[in-house]
Amino acid sequence: MNAESSHSFLAMQVEHRIKVAATPGVIFRIYENVQHWHTWDPDTKRATLEGPFAVGSRGRLTPTTGNSVPMVITHLVLDSCFTVESKIPLFRMVFEHELVPAQGLTEVVHRVTFSGLLTFLLGNMLAKQVNSGLPVTLRNLKALAESRSAA
Q: How many domains does the chain have?
A: 1
**pLDDT score at 9:** 55
**pLDDT score at 100:** 97
**pLDDT score at 10:** 77
Dist. CA 93–CA 113, nearest whole Å:
6
62 with 68: CB under 8 angstroms?
A: yes
The CATH number of the domain where 146 resides is what? 3.30.530.20
DSSP code of residue 64: S
Walking along the chain (151 residues) 10 residues at a time, the average pLDDT comes out as: 53 94 97 97 95 97 89 98 93 95 95 88 80 94 94 69
Which domain does 138 fall in, by range?
2-150
Which residue from 101, 120, 123, 100 is spatially nearest to 110, judged by alpha carbons? 100
**pLDDT score at 147:** 96
**pLDDT score at 120:** 79
